[in-house]
Structure 1
Amino acid sequence: MYEDFASTLAATMWTDFDETPEREGPTAEITDIDSFVIDGNFPWTIITLETDQGVTGIGEAYPSPGVHEIVTDYLRPVLVGENPLDVERLYNLMRESLSGRGSQWGVGTIAISGVEIALWDAAGKILDQPIYQLLGGKTRDEVRVYADCHAGEAMVSSAEEGQEETTYEPEAYARAARLAVEDGFDAVKFDLDVPSGRDIDTLSRHFDPPEIEHKRSVVEAVTEEVGDDAEVAVDLHWNFSPETAERLCEAIEPYDLAWVEDPLPPENTDAMRELKRSTNVTLLTGENRYGRHGFRDLIEEQAVDFLAPDVPKTGGIAETKKIADMAEAYYQALIPHNIGSPVATVATAHVGATVPNFVALEYHAREVPWWDDLVARDDPLIQNGRLTVPDGPGLGIELDWDVVDEHRKTRS
């Protein structure tokens, strides 16, 4: 039923999207699209796109319920038979086919993002070119990577075995920061919206002075530990009211943080702009925004210093590049959010290679020892806090399917 509906919808919509343009160059045809989940520290949702050229494009969608159903029931019947080289046209076709069903934001956009990445990978393999070349070429050979050290149990589990720090005490954060620096990272981030051991009402988003002091002490411990060896950032996960966020920012201002991430809920650009005007810390947000239209007001209002689109969530590779291009006009830079597998990470690195206003890429899986094993290569992707952008066709990486099968989640 879903396939009949999607096919009928696509057939009755914009003909310029539906009709493959005539061309003399290489052509190909999409024969199937599917998805599966790797059970990592997040459910990494991998998209596979098959073609009649024997090429399989690999993508990744942000972890979200319903992605598989959208990909197979709605997008597969729309895209099978189409030319995977027409990435831009097919991106718009997918958005139109899901019009009114989340193609502007939410899970619909997430599913489209994963397929878009797979389209770029397939197109690069067919044309024997890396994605960055198809996007206009490189501005840099490698991208800087920062280590998300999390908080609590996730932070401690990525540290050396045998460490017995109390989970949310400043000393635990300082130890984790030092270990990340020893691993070669010159930028680290921690969650600061964490328990202090006191019983408080977090729903109010208002924190009293002892709570603010706990957060300040964590920042002090980390920055004193790493000194000039690394920049330090913190993530607040939208859990503070404007007045509390302002007081917290004032408390941690002396520590010269690289950025304070998501201090306010994501919906209100005006509130974020006012916070930026009232504080002297560097602000970052964007992981819960979708597409260039979702970033427009943040950019035009210059409501933050750095933008954090998530490539497998916000629309894919080309859409993130368009966000970067918009931001460049306002002298803003990108520090993309990334909690994905090597597929999402490398896809984001290709964007970072092609735009000048790219600062760093998040790495969120230090506690997953087999993360690098997912890729069929000898050397780790990330070395000394840098990721050299692969020069092979498409994404430039291939999955090790034996390792994938070992960690593949069975669909219930």
Structure 2
Amino acid sequence: MGVGGLSLAAVPLLPIEDRVAYATQNVSRASKPSDLKITDLRIAVLEGVPFTSPIVRISTNQGITGWGEVRDDADPRFALMLKSRILGENPCNVEMLFKRIKQFGGQGRQGGGVSGVEMALWDLAGKAFGVPVYQLLGGQYRNQVRVYTDATESEDPEEYAARMKARVDAGVTFLKMDLGLELISKIEGTVVGGGLWGDDLGQYNGDPGSYGMTEHAFTQVQITDKGLDEMAKYIEAVRGAIGYEIPMGMDHTGHFGVDTAIRLANRFERYNLAYLEDLVPWFYHDDWRQITENTNVPTMTGEDIFGFEAFKEIIDQGLVELIHPDPATAGGILETKRIADYAQMHSIATMLHYAGSPIGAIASAHIAAATEGFQALEYHSFEVEGWDTLVDGMEKPLMKNGFYTLTDRPGLGVDLNEDAAKQFLKEGTQLFPKSDEWNEKDSWDRIWS
């Protein structure tokens, strides 16, 4: 007869190992962290959430599933190629595995694979030990995480202002305003050099050699005083609608050089902007130094930077006044927290960029909860119908009155609702198809001799 069938009176007569077995017979064995092993990694590509987001699913030998997310509009293969490096490993050894795969990350979307896998490892570790990810990071500074959001642009300043006011009326307490020079470029006398680009000053034209793919210093585009005045009409309309109690940053102003960036910042100073974001590419350090030293509007960059080391250079030199990592590019959960904590040591606060599904958004919220110098996390899904349905485990709506409220559920505290995910599945793809072709490593990964 096994120990489970013994009478209570007989238990003291058993050997110690049998007494332990009897006492713990009703304890769940679903998770024994020291024996946890990764058995599979698969990807499902969702679109319209609001962009294209590859979702990472890591399976284990104990039936625990970890969720992560590759950066929006990144190639899912950035994550799939890492499968052979982590199969059979214990996902609770997050830092060790991150150091193994970090070499395969890169700037921009190339950081998405490493970051998404790292998120899923933390989810697994939290679930294995029965605690939220923020607890593994050292605990909470807050369990309500402030968000910031924007609204779609309009060529009519008053309509743009109404859209931003609607965000405030919905409870949002921090805004970002996209204000591209293309809104005013058709007005005579506002832009110098636009004709070189066929007057196509769209920042998201991905054609090689287009304005959208040309770095700022090399477009030879300038905004005139009249152009800055026309752009200012939009800010005045928005400030008139929302007032000055609501912090508001600005992004996507256009591709132009340092001199125009400084003039723009000085013209908009009167509107007390919370920040000006990515006025030039992040890697032009001297340009950022000039802008920051010659303006009184806080400067910010970082959403396309991978890894602590690249951020450290910017922080050490004091090139910007705010950093803006995207956890799905920066290296995932712990690497982003390391970056933010280091920034705080240099009196630099952290905003978090995010524009994906609720999986990555809530992963980012765990970083925010555990990071003292955090300010606000991007919420880019105001108009995505069904976004909240993509996950289970948190009260809906996920974002309420301008905040996410985290729970004490283990791991990220949310799981993908696969039925809902099917509604967003990228056309022509399957939900988590087999990925056996990525099981075997076919390279010598050491990067030193």
Which amino acid letter does the alignment assign opposite residue 46 of structure 1? Answer: I
Name the counterpart of 1:182: 169
SS of alignment partner, residue 183 of structure 2:
coil
1:42 and 1:280 mapped to 2: Cα distance?
Answer: 34
Name the counterpart of 1:393: 410
1:110 pairs with one of 109, 112, 119? 112
Name the counterpart of 1:155: none
Q: Which moved more, 1:221-230 or 1:320-329?
A: 221-230
Structure 1 gaps of 5+ residues are 1-23, 152-166
2:66 pairs with one of 29, 48, 57? 57
Name the counterpart of 2:210: none
Cα distance 1:289–1:25, how it changes in 2: closer, same or farther (>3 A)? closer
Cα distance 1:397–1:180, how it changes in 2: closer, same or farther (>3 A)? same
SS of alignment partner, residue 190 of structure 1:
strand
2:183 pairs with one of 195, 198, 202? 195
1:411 and 1:287 mapped to 2: Cα distance?
Answer: 30
Cα distance 1:116–1:391, how it changes in 2: closer, same or farther (>3 A)? same
2:115 and 2:341 mapped to 1: Cα distance?
Answer: 18
Which amino acid letter does the alignment assign opposite residue 195 of structure 1? Answer: L
The answer on whether the counterparts of 1:27 and 1:85 sit within 8 Å (CA) in structure 2 is no
1:182 CA drift (Å):
0.4
Name the counterpart of 1:379: 396
The answer on whether the counterparts of 2:110 and 2:329 sit within 8 Å (CA) in structure 1 is no
1:401 CA drift (Å):
1.5
* CA deviation profile, 1:179-203 (whole Å, cap 9, x unmatched): 0000001111111114213375153
SS of alignment partner, residue 407 of structure 1:
coil
Name the counterpart of 2:149: 147
Name the counterpart of 1:255: 271
Q: How does 1:344-383 map to 2 (within 5 A)?
A: 344-376=360-392, 377-383=394-400
The answer on whether the counterparts of 2:150 and 2:164 sit within 8 Å (CA) in structure 1 is no
RMSD value over aligned CA atoms? 1.7
The answer on whether the counterparts of 1:238 and 1:262 sit within 8 Å (CA) in structure 2 is no
1:298 and 1:87 mapped to 2: Cα distance?
Answer: 26
1:336 matched to 2:352? The reply is: yes
Cα distance 1:220–1:237, how it changes in 2: closer, same or farther (>3 A)? closer
1:95 CA drift (Å):
2.3
Larger Rg over CA atoms? 2
Which amino acid letter does the alignment assign opposite residue 47 of structure 2? Answer: D
TM-score normalized with structure 1 length: 0.85
Which amino acid letter does the alignment assign opposite residue 178 of structure 2? Answer: D
2:223 and 2:381 mapped to 1: Cα distance?
Answer: 30
The answer on whether the counterparts of 1:239 and 1:265 sit within 8 Å (CA) in structure 2 is no
The answer on whether the counterparts of 2:323 and 2:348 sit within 8 Å (CA) in structure 1 is yes
Name the counterpart of 1:80: 87
Structure 2 gaps of 5+ residues are 1-31, 195-200, 202-218, 430-449
1:251 CA drift (Å):
1.0
TM-score normalized with structure 2 length: 0.78
Q: How does 1:227-246 map to 2 (within 5 A)?
A: 227-236=243-252, 239-246=255-262
The answer on whether the counterparts of 1:29 and 1:84 sit within 8 Å (CA) in structure 2 is yes
Which amino acid letter does the alignment assign opposite residue 351 of structure 1? Answer: I
2:45 and 2:253 mapped to 1: Cα distance?
Answer: 25
The answer on whether the counterparts of 1:240 and 1:265 sit within 8 Å (CA) in structure 2 is no
State the identity as a percent.
36
1:70 CA drift (Å):
3.4
Which amino acid letter does the alignment assign opposite residue 170 of structure 2? Answer: D
1:137 pairs with one of 139, 151, 164? 139
Name the counterpart of 2:17: none
The answer on whether the counterparts of 2:107 and 2:304 sit within 8 Å (CA) in structure 1 is no
Q: How does 1:295-306 map to 2 (within 5 A)?
A: 295-306=311-322
The answer on whether the counterparts of 2:228 and 2:267 sit within 8 Å (CA) in structure 1 is yes
2:395 and 2:72 mapped to 1: Cα distance?
Answer: 27
Q: How many residues align?
A: 367
